[in-house]
Structure 1
Amino acid sequence: MDLKPTESELEILQVIWKKGQCSVREVHEELTKNKDAGYTTTLKLMQIMADKGLVERDTNAKIHLYKAVISREQAQNTALDKILDTVFKGSTADLVIQALGQHRASSDEIDAIKKYLQQFERKD
């Protein structure tokens, strides 16, 4: 499954991942906490997402409930692949160096990165 959510779709997915299953109204209320969004725009986006296979709509109840089909990890992998290919021309090292240079990692995060790199080195 090669689903590529847009930025707006990712914002909606963030709400659904957090809540599990929710109505358009619940998603809309969450989105309007951080930005202006029209209810009909949210509804239309969620209908498009259902057509694309990003979410499933349960129509058994009076209020339609949506749940994510794509996992947070799948979405992260898709977004990362896109950024890696388009912005960093496939260079994993450039991506990591840029990320660590722009955003200060905590001691715990640095330890986790070191541990991961050690595991990666053992595989070679």
Structure 2
Amino acid sequence: MARFLIKLVVNAVALWLTTLIVSGVHVVPYAPDSGAIILTFLLVAFIFGLVNAIVGGFVRVIAFPLYIITLGLIALIVNGLLLLLVAWISGLIGFGLVVDGFWWGVLGAIVLAIISWLLGLIVRPVTPKRS
């Protein structure tokens, strides 16, 4: 459970940094105070994790031949579409992630992946290993 929470916080921080770097990706909180902003980032990170695990895993299995043919470059498009899906799902709630367009989604997904990877490298020694 602690490992899940650490990954959730890492993804929320990566999402926050992505919104600072990529101008076409931003988060609309449900209230203007700082606690609501933090909870909104955590909720969007949770939705992103669910979408990435369920839909992303399914798409990666189905599109495996395309991954081989394009030498993995289709992953950029798939990740951008998954980020757009997260924006659509959070938009149904009335607050959350907003992506201005497809290419902003692709760029946001690239930046999000790089930042998540770097933060994961930093936090990795802290996370307990399962025995």
User: Is the TM value for this pair above 0.5?
Assistant: no
| Rg larger in structure | 1
Relative contact order higher in (CA < 8 Å, ≥ 6 apart): 2
**Length-normalised TM-score, structure 1:** 0.28
Relative to its length, the structure with more helix (as a share) is 2
**Length-normalised TM-score, structure 2:** 0.27
